[in-house]
Structure 1
Amino acid sequence: MSTSAMRDGLDTAIAVTDEDSSGAAGDLAALGVSSGPCGAASLAGIRAALTDDRADERRTTLGLGPASILVLLGTEGTAASPHSTTDH
């Protein structure tokens, strides 16, 4: 993806750790969703963005409230991740 496409097409972006992505994959597996760490990065990212000390500011900037619905895309299952620690 080009820098201009990212700049013009995104409201925000956040980096997550491998540990956070793996944890999110485990949480999804507990719900029966097959996801490797890369596929679960969207869940890890939204958690990181909306649970730290700047969460209220980000929620306001993004227009997120109690009735908001977030759609997370997971593009990788555990079969694509041979190092996944989940069983689903």
Structure 2
Amino acid sequence: MTIQEELASLIKNDVLIEIEDYIDELFEIIAAKKEDERTKEELASMQEMRDDFNEMLKDLEENEIDDEEAKEIMEEINEMRKED
């Protein structure tokens, strides 16, 4: 498996699922009318992040991300996930 395939797998099977789950939680808060401005900002931020990762998947499919960039992105994702 290439580093690009590993990155695509990480994004599809972990990152996007986690983002979608969190977006669902935010929508539940909003549906219960318990949201505040921070919740709405967080929702917009998470939706933008989801879009960015989907765009990254397209770039991976089109071989527009080289080994070095893929490695850096994977490291950033792993750091981001550790912080949560």
- Using structure 1 for the length normalisation, give the TM-score: 0.30
- Using structure 2 for the length normalisation, give the TM-score: 0.31
Q: Counting helix residues as a fraction of each chain, which structure ranks higher?
A: 2
